[in-house]
Amino acid sequence: MKKAILTLAALAALQSGFAMASNGGTVNFSGSIVKEPCAQNSSTLLSYAQNPRQYQAARKMASGQSCSGMDNTQSLSIAAVNMAGSTAQSNGQLVTIVYN
């Protein structure tokens, strides 16, 4: 029974990847945005992603009524990415923020 469930889960995971690839890289959103994210500079977000203690401290500060700050997030992660430019290829970092 476990083998059948694992097989179905693997097929579902693969199918979701095919759907994304066939969609030309377009991200679809369903839901509503109640408050826009608060303005944060990229160096601050990178610092939070690299230092979990700073991120946890930032999550304790209330952002107020006008925007969603770090207190309205579920997670913050960092990943290395390759960036292909017109003349050269370089490496960069991608910070992903998941809001509530």
Mean pLDDT of 6-32: 59
Pairwise CA distance, residues 62 & 53, whole Å = 17
pLDDT band at residue 20 using 50, 70 and 90 as cut-offs: very low
Q: Please, are residues 93 and 77 in contact by the beta-carbon 8 Å criterion? A: no
Which tokens belong to 51?
């230092």
Range of the domain at 85: 37-100
Residue 23 lies in a domain: no
Residue 76 lies in a domain: yes
pTM to 2 decimal places: 0.58
- Give me the pLDDT at residue 19, please: 46
Residue 94 lies in a domain: yes
> Could you report the per-residue pLDDT of 71-87, keeping only the tens digit for each?
999 999 988 888 776 66
Pairwise CA distance, residues 32 & 83, whole Å = 31
Residue 90 lies in a domain: yes
Instruction: Identify which has the larger pLDDT, 86 or 60.
Output: 60
Residue 9 lies in a domain: no
What is the total count of domains within the chain?
1
Pairwise CA distance, residues 57 & 37, whole Å = 18
Q: Is 26 exposed, middle or buried (0-12, 13-18, 19+ CB in 10 A)?
A: exposed
